Amino acid sequence: MGRWARLAVTATVLVAVVLVTASLLSAPAPRGMVDVTVGPGDSLWSIATSRAPDRDPRAVIDEIEQLNGLSSDVLRVGVVLRVPAGAD
C-alpha cells in the first residue's frame, strides 16, 4: 500500500473515531430506575405523577408499561414495577 493510501486510511479511521466519540458524548444520560410496589388505590397515573412530576404523565406511563411488559392499566396490589427514578 502506498503512502497516500495509508494516509487516507488513517484519516478515515481518525474521522470515524471522532464521530463515534462525539455521538457517545452527546447522547442523553440513561435515566435511573427504581422499584415501586403497587399499593391500594395506586394507578399508573398516580405513580407517574409522583415519580416524575416535571414530565408528561402519559409519556411516563408509556415508559412504565414498556419497562414492565404491561398489557393492561389494571394494577394488582403488591406487584413491583420498574419506574423511572425522576424527572428529566
49-77 confidence digits (pLDDT tens): 999 898 999 999 999 999 999 988 889 99
Tens-place pLDDT, residues 9-47: 999 999 999 888 877 776 555 568 899 999 999 999 999
What's the full length of the chain, in residues? 88
Domain hosting residue 11, numbered range: 1-29
- Give the burial class of 22: count Cβ atoms within 10 A of its Cβ; 0-12 exposed, 13-18 middle, 19 or more buried: exposed
Residues 39 and 25 in one domain: no
Q: Quick check: helix, strand or coil at residue 85?
A: coil
One-character DSSP codes across 12-37: HHHHHHHHHHHHHHHSPPPPPEEEEE
Q: Quick check: helix, strand or coil at residue 83?
A: strand
Enter the pTM of the model. Answer: 0.61
**CATH number (domain holding residue 73):** 3.10.350.10
